[in-house]
Amino acid sequence: QKEVEQDPGPLSVPEGAIVSLNCTYSNSAFQYFMWYRQYSRKGPELLMYTYSSGNKEDGRFTAQVDKSSKYISLFIRDSQPSDSATYLCAMSSPSGSSASKIIFGSGTRLSIRP
Amino acid sequence: KAGVTQTPRYLIKTRGQQVTLSCSPISGHRSVSWYQQTPGQGLQFLFEYFSETQRNKGNFPGRFSGRQFSNSRSEMNVSTLELGDSALYLCASRPHGQNTEAFFGQGTRLTVV
Q: CB distance B56–A97 less than 8 Å?
A: yes
Q: Cβ of A100 and B48 within 8 Å?
A: yes
What is the overall mean pLDDT for chain A?
A: 91
**Above 90 in pLDDT, residue B40?**
no
pLDDT at B41: 85
Q: What is the DSSP string of B41-102?
A: TEEEEEEEEETTEEEEE-S--TTEEEEE-TTS-EEEEE-S--GGG-EEEEEEEESSSSSS--
Residue type, A36: Y
Measure the CA–CA gap between B16 and B95, rounded to whole angstroms.
36
Instruction: Give the C-alpha separation, A105 to B68, whole Å.
Output: 27
Q: Which of B99, B100, B109 to mutate to test the interface with A (most CBs of A within 10 A)?
A: B99
List, for residues B44-53, the tens digit of each pLDDT value.
999 999 889 9
Sign of CA dihedral A62, A67, A68, A73: positive
Question: Cβ separation of A42 and B106 shorter than 8 Å?
Answer: yes
CA of B79, closest CA in chain A: separation in Å?
24
Residues of chain B contacting A103 with CB distance shorter than 8 Å: 45
Mean pLDDT over B37-60 rounds to 91
| Cα A90 from chain centroid (whole Å) | 7
